[in-house]
């Protein structure tokens, strides 16, 4: 089996030389490459998720730099990073469920039970102070201030002091059991994480392969009898969508704009005629003249941006404006791998690709117009852009493999498929306001714990878990931790 470096270099060359064209082929090959990277990656025994994330991210940066215009590459890389985080969180949540801790609300009053003692506030404070002095759990039994027993200085003062020590001893036993289980679960998750991630990436590849069929299954819901459909250029997704409606005994007519200068519309027209669909080829300049006879515009997309805008083949902005002028629905079809979490005004997004002028002009015919040596001839510039940007206000509906969605709903899809930490691939670590580096170590593992001592013991639990994980490079003081409250299940510090 070729090593990872050779596979990455080979695919980078393909992207640089534009030997891989189309979002579907690019997304699939990117996912397969990342699967190989994950399977061959040697990871440490601890912090395996962090090691996998860094490995995938480093490869993703190279792939995106090789062809910045092909946004599907970055989309798949971010999807895989999101998969790693989700699988790590899932295994951590499963481990929490095995600890046998029961759920208690923050707002409930904690009542002492005979078989489940509850620590007093003074005992918790003493435990917290002892925690800061030494990493050992045995310090919970040391240094209990006199103020802890002051409220009970009565005839039963000795009994109260003994009861407080019993509570601390019970807490120590629970902590010891907790960390022994946590260490065992962390070792188990280390073995399971890599296998779970590879399985999830395989499912992603299957989703990419089946996206055309899943979108085509929705055609009968949108195309009705005797309608007139307009499209521009050639899109495999659009072709499958129209053919699926034909297979469901829908009778309709299609206007195909030729899509100059590559004239991909001619290829699509031949394919539709071969499937028995009534087809009319028109020039791109005739779109506005024919749009009044059209019931719906169905087009493909190069990428669907986070704001609901579309990067599409050149000429589609003109079609969208004509459709808006005549109140014709403008429908965009595309797989979920085309959902891009970036905005079009992002400096990392390269919206266009200037293709060879030979598609517009024959060099031989214009060679006599160019001065080859003197520099006195007039210069001739030929601009051949590949894409247009269609703003979200011109789009009526997106049809992806999970269903139909309006542009204002794209942000929800982005949140489901990507993690906010992965929007910038070059970012390997960010320091927060206090200067502590954000890390993916399972601190959220502790923040999700709920027991009869919650929330008083949350600070102690977090500090003890920090001490139990020797690979952590973050230091959190009790004063900083005392103000933290879990706001999301994936909160990390």
285: domain CATH number?
3.40.50.10470
Report the pLDDT value the prediction gives residue 96, as an integer from 0 to 100: 67
Give the pLDDT band (50/70/90) at residue 461. Answer: low
Residue 258 lies in a domain: yes
For 234, half-sphere exposure in the C-beta direction (CA atoms, 13 angstrom radius) is 15
CA distance 271 to 257: 14
Report the pLDDT value the prediction gives residue 41, as an integer from 0 to 100: 86
**488 and 359 housed in the same domain:** no
Give the pLDDT band (50/70/90) at residue 280. Answer: very high
Q: What percent of the chain has pLDDT over 70?
A: 63
**271 and 254 housed in the same domain:** yes
CA distance 411 to 418: 10
Q: List pLDDT tens digits, range 159-207.
A: 666 666 676 667 666 666 665 655 555 555 556 888 999 999 999 999 9
Residue 142 lies in a domain: no
CA distance 309 to 322: 17
Residue 443 lies in a domain: yes
Are 91 and 184 in contact by the 8 Å Cβ rule? The answer is no
CA 405 to chain centre: 18
Does residue 326 surpass a pLDDT of 70? yes
The residue among 56 and 346 whose pLDDT is bigger is: 56
**271 and 396 housed in the same domain:** yes
Where does a domain end: 390, 421, 452? 421
Report the pLDDT value the prediction gives residue 187, as an integer from 0 to 100: 54
**245 and 359 housed in the same domain:** yes
Question: How is residue 324 written in tokens?
Answer: 């808006």
Mean pLDDT (whole number) for 298-318: 95
The residue among 171 and 34 whose pLDDT is bigger is: 34
**437 and 328 housed in the same domain:** no
Does residue 369 surpass a pLDDT of 80? no
Q: What percent of the chain has pLDDT over 90?
A: 50
**298 and 338 housed in the same domain:** yes
Does residue 319 surpass a pLDDT of 90? yes
Mean pLDDT of all residues belonging to the chain? 77
Number of domains in the chain: 2
Does residue 153 surpass a pLDDT of 60? no
Does residue 17 surpass a pLDDT of 70? yes
- Count other Cβ atoms within 10 Å, centred on residue 143: 12
The residue among 289 and 49 whose pLDDT is bigger is: 289
Report the pLDDT value the prediction gives residue 479, as an integer from 0 to 100: 46
**198 and 276 housed in the same domain:** no
Residue 268 lies in a domain: yes
Mean pLDDT (whole number) for 322-335: 97
Report the pLDDT value the prediction gives residue 440, as an integer from 0 to 100: 37
Report the pLDDT value the prediction gives residue 3, as an integer from 0 to 100: 85
CATH number of the domain at 24, please: 1.20.120.420
**443 and 333 housed in the same domain:** no
Report the pLDDT value the prediction gives residue 147, as an integer from 0 to 100: 44
Give the pLDDT band (50/70/90) at residue 483. Answer: very low
Q: Please report the DSSP string for 357-415 in residue order.
A: GGGTS-HHHHGGGS-SSSS-SPP-----B-EEEE-GGG--EEEETTEEE-GGGHHHHHH
Q: List pLDDT tens digits, range 413-445.
A: 999 999 999 988 876 444 333 333 333 333 333
Q: List pLDDT tens digits, range 78-116.
A: 999 999 999 988 887 776 665 544 444 444 444 444 444
Report the pLDDT value the prediction gives residue 353, as an integer from 0 to 100: 86
Report the pLDDT value the prediction gives residue 140, as an integer from 0 to 100: 43
The residue among 291 and 145 whose pLDDT is bigger is: 291
Q: List pLDDT tens digits, range 38-78.
A: 998 887 767 788 899 999 999 999 999 999 999 999 999 99
Residue 127 lies in a domain: no
CA distance 219 to 240: 9
**284 and 395 housed in the same domain:** yes
Report the pLDDT value the prediction gives residue 217, as an integer from 0 to 100: 95
Q: List pLDDT tens digits, range 103-149.
A: 444 444 444 444 444 444 445 444 444 444 444 444 444 544 444 44
Report the pLDDT value the prediction gives residue 239, as an integer from 0 to 100: 96
Range of the domain at 364: 217-421
Report the pLDDT value the prediction gives residue 364, as an integer from 0 to 100: 75
**Coil, helix or strand at residue 88:** helix
> 136-145, 246-255, 368-377: which has the minimum mean pLDDT?
136-145
Burial bucket for residue 195 (CB in 10 Å: 0-12, 13-18, 19+): exposed
Omega before residue 369 within 30° of 0, cis: no
**231 and 375 housed in the same domain:** yes
> 133-137, 281-285, 346-350, 361-365: which has the minimum mean pLDDT?
133-137
Query: Which are the contacts of 383, defined by CB distance < 8 A and separation ≥ 6?
Result: 354
Where does a domain end: 396, 421, 446? 421
Residue 157 lies in a domain: no
Q: Which helix (H) or strand (E) holds 333?
A: strand 330-333
CA distance 147 to 125: 11
CA distance 472 to 456: 24
Residue 92 lies in a domain: yes
**406 and 268 housed in the same domain:** yes
Where does a domain end: 401, 421, 441? 421
> Helix axis angle, 157-216 relative to 458-468, nearest 10°?
70
Report the pLDDT value the prediction gives residue 134, as an integer from 0 to 100: 42
CA distance 42 to 190: 12
Mean pLDDT (whole number) for 323-334: 97
Report the pLDDT value the prediction gives residue 275, as an integer from 0 to 100: 94
**234 and 364 housed in the same domain:** yes
């Amino acid at each position: 089996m070729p090593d990872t470096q050779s596979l990455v270099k080979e695919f980078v060359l393909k992207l640089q030389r534009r030997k891989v064209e189309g979002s579907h082929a690019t997304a699939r090959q990117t996912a397969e490459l990342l699967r190989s990277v994950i399977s061959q990656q040697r990871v440490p025994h601890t912090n395996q998720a962090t090691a996998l994330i860094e490995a995938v991210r480093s490869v993703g940066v190279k792939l995106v730099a090789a062809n910045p215009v092909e946004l599907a590459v970055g989309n798949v890389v971010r999807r895989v990073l999101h998969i790693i985080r989700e699988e790590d969180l899932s295994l951590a949540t499963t481990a929490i469920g095995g600890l046998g801790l029961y759920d208690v609300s923050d707002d409930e009053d904690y009542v002492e039970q005979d078989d489940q003692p509850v620590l007093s506030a003074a005992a918790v404070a003493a435990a917290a102070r002892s925690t800061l002095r030494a990493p050992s759990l045995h310090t919970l039994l040391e240094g209990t201030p006199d103020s802890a027993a002051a409220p009970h200085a009565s005839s039963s003062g000795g009994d109260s002091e003994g009861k407080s020590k019993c509570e601390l001893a019970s807490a120590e036993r629970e902590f010891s059991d907790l960390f022994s289980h946590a260490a065992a679960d962390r070792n188990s998750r280390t073995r399971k994480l890599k296998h779970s991630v590879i399985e999830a990436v395989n499912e992603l590849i299957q989703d990419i392969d089946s996206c055309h069929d899943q979108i085509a299954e929705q055609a009968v819901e949108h195309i009705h009898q005797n309608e007139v459909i307009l499209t521009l250029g050639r899109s495999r997704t659009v072709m499958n969508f129209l053919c699926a409606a034909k297979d469901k005994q829908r009778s309709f007519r299609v206007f195909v704009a030729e899509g100059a200068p590559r004239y991909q519309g001619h290829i699509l027209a031949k394919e539709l005629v071969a499937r028995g669909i009534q087809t009319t080829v028109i020039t791109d300049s005739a779109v506005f003249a024919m749009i009044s006879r059209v019931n719906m515009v169905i087009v493909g997309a190069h990428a669907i941006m986070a704001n609901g805008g579309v990067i599409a083949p050149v000429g589609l902005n003109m079609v969208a404006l004509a459709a808006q002028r005549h109140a014709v629905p403008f429908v965009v079809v595309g797989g979920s791998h085309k959902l891009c979490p970036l905005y079009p005004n992002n400096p990392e997004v390269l919206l266009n690709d200037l293709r060879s002028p030979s598609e517009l002009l024959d060099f031989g015919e214009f060679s006599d117009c160019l001065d080859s040596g003197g520099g006195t001839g007039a210069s001739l510039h030929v601009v051949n852009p590949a894409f247009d940007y269609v703003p979200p206000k011109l789009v009526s509906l997106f049809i992806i493999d999970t269903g139909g969605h309006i542009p204002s709903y794209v942000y929800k899809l982005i949140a489901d498929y990507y993690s906010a930490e992965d929007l910038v691939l070059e970012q390997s670590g960010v320091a927060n306001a206090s200067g502590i580096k954000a890390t993916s170590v399972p601190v959220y593992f502790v923040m999700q714990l709920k027991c009869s001592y919650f929330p008083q013991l949350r600070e102690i639990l977090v500090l003890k878990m920090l001490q139990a994980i020797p690979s952590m490079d973050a230091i959190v003081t009790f004063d900083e931790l005392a103000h933290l409250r879990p706001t999301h299940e994936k909160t990390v510090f």
